[in-house]
Amino acid sequence: MTTPISAASAYANIAKLTSSSPLSGAEDGGSSFASVLKQAIGSVNEIGQKSDAQTRAVATGKANMVDVVTAVSETEVAIDAVVAVRDKIIAAYQDIMKMPI
pLDDT (tens place) for every residue of the chain, 101 residues total: 556 666 666 666 666 665 655 554 445 555 788 888 888 888 999 999 999 999 999 989 888 889 888 988 999 999 999 899 889 999 999 999 999 88
Residue type, 41: I
CB burial readout 26-49, b (16+ within 10 A) else e: eeeeeeeeeeebbeebeebbebbb
- What's the pLDDT at 101? 82
> What whole-number distance in Å separates Cα of residue 64 and Cα of residue 46?
20
| Residue span of the structural domain in which 43 resides | 31-101
64 in helix, strand or coil?
A: coil
Domain count, the chain: 1
The answer to whether residues 45 and 18 touch, using CB atoms and an 8 Å cutoff, is: yes
Nearest to 47 by CA among 81, 16, 98, 20: 81
- What's the pLDDT at 15? 64
- What's the pLDDT at 91? 94
Q: Distance of CA 5 to CAs 28, 48, 69, 72, Å?
A: 42, 14, 21, 18
